[in-house]
């Protein structure tokens, strides 16, 4: 039996529209440097009225099914903090839309932005138990804050799909992991709200506390030394946070956190998040996609992953890039997912932000806006109706 398990394929999708931060700054009078430099963001993906976590997830997963087929996929793990139902897993809709067999288990995981890493680790356990199977891990979220709130500029939307298997073509995930949990109210969304609540300073402090905690535990479990890593993929609620986090990790280990060293370690990982915005559970793995798409050959080199979810749970783990990985990348498709978005003005953005399907259980259709392969057509009898385009 192979002991090598990890990410065999990775694909992502994002929303139909994009709001440049120059447009947001012109509306609210903010100096653009506070966005481009202060938080490290240039634009944010905005879903169409007929897009949600299911349509983005299906769009991300469909290319994986097209390349690898469905015969070995026995499990779908859907990670999100933008859940559309308190009972039914969003992944069941995806299962139907992309044509997976009925002999499949489908579950939904939740723990803020950390959920996809839990899904990845659970998938590794399943594959270790039965190496013949593959697990489809999907992370899909729409980051949404109140209009005119401090968090508004960090919004975004995206889905990442990862196929986990033995003998992976991209990244072999290693043992051990460093773990950390603390009961913190830095970011949360009660059931009665569709926008999140956040204490910005508390959240930054909680994130940095988690960086220390996971690294300390990772070292106690016998993990790699800091010098062994060629790059680091951090959760990026805004890309400047990744820089803060890595500077903190360097200082915590007695290193000088000069700008050049930090940029060398993670600069390539921020390219997609910088223009998509916060994608919650998908964020770390958008960072991995950006790294693999841009870096020189990383074969045999170690990448550190720091996954943080407010509230809070975090994990640090390592992966080794596999020989020949460049032949399996989706670089062109990834870049097309970003450049295909249509830029909208502030009025269009505000209308999309305020769009809601009625909750009366009647028959309501959504306007046709997305040009993607799947859409949320509407609702009838409290049931969401999805269709392929």
What residues does 37 pair with on adjacent strands? none
Domain of residue 264: give its range. Answer: 5-388
* Alpha helices (runs of H) in the chain, residue ranges in sequence order: 21-28, 33, 53-68, 90-97, 115-129, 200-220, 239-252, 259-266, 271-276, 283-294, 331-339, 346-354
Task: Annotate 87-109 with b (16+ C-beta within 10 A) or e (fewer).
Answer: eebbbbbbbebbebeeeeebebb
Alpha-carbon span 200 to 196, nearest angstrom: 12
Cis bond leading into 312, ω under 30°? yes
pTM for the model: 0.97
Q: Give the Cα separation of 5 and 125 in Å (integer).
A: 9
pLDDT at 2: 61
| Average pLDDT estimate for 271-275 | 98
Q: How many domains does the chain have?
A: 1
Q: What is the CATH number of the domain that holds 33?
A: 3.40.47.10
Residues 28-42 pLDDT 10s: 999 999 999 999 999
Average pLDDT of the chain is: 97
Task: Quickly state the pLDDT bin for 1 (edges 50, 70, 90).
Answer: very low
Model confidence band, residue 200 (pLDDT cutoffs 50, 70, 90): confident
List pLDDT tens digits, range 216-244. 999 999 999 999 999 999 999 999 999 99
Tell me which residues are annotated as active site: 81, 113, 235
Give residue 295's pLDDT band: very low, low, confident or very high (50, 70, 90): very high
pLDDT in tens, 49-67: 999 999 999 999 999 999 9
State the pLDDT at residue 3: 77
Decide the pairing of beta strands 73-79 and 105-109.
parallel
The stretches of 186-313 forming alpha helices (DSSP H) are 200-220, 239-252, 259-266, 271-276, 283-294
């Amino acid at each position: 039996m192979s002991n090598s398990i990890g990410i065999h394929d990775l694909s992502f999708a994002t929303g139909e529209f994009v709001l440049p931060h120059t447009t947001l700054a012109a509306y609210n009078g903010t100096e653009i440097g506070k966005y481009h430099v202060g938080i490290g963001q240039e634009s944010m993906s905005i879903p169409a009225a007929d897009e949600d976590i299911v349509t983005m997830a299906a769009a991300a997963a469909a290319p994986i099914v097209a390349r690898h087929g469905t015969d070995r996929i026995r499990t779908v793990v859907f990670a999100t903090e933008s859940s559309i139902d308190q009972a039914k897993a969003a992944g069941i809709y995806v299962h139907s839309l992309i044509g997976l067999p009925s002999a499949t288990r489908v579950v939904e995981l939740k723990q803020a932005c950390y959920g996809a890493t839990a899904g990845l680790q659970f998938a590794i356990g399943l594959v270790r138990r039965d190496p013949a199977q593959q697990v489809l891990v999907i992370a899909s979220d729409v980051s949404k804050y109140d209009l005119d709130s401090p968090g508004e500029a960090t919004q975004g939307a995206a889905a990442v799909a990862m196929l986990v298997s033995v003998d992976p073509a991209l990244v072999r995930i290693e043992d051990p992991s460093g773990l950390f949990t603390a009961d913190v109210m830095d970011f949360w969304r009660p059931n009665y709200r569709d926008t999140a609540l956040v204490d910005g300073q508390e959240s930054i402090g909680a994130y940095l506390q988690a960086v220390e905690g996971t690294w300390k535990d990772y070292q106690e479990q016998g993990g790699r030394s800091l010098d062994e890593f060629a790059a680091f993929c951090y959760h990026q609620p805004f890309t400047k946070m990744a820089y803060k986090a890595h500077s903190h990790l360097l200082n915590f280990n007695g290193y000088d956190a000069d700008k050049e060293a930090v940029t060398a370690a993670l600069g390539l990982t921020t390219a997609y998040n910088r223009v998509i915005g916060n994608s919650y559970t998908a964020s770390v793995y958008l960072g991995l996609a950006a790294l693999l798409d841009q870096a020189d050959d990383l074969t045999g080199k170690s990448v550190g992953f720091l996954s943080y979810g407010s509230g809070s749970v975090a994990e640090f783990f390592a992966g080794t890039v596999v020989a020949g990985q460049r032949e399996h990348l989706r670089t062109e498709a990834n870049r097309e997912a970003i450049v295909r978005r249509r830029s909208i003005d502030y009025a269009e953005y505000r209308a999309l932000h305020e769009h809601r399907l009625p909750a009366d259980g009647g028959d309501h259709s959504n306007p046709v806006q997305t040009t993607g392969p799947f859409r949320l057509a509407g609702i009838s009898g409290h049931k969401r109706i999805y269709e392929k385009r």
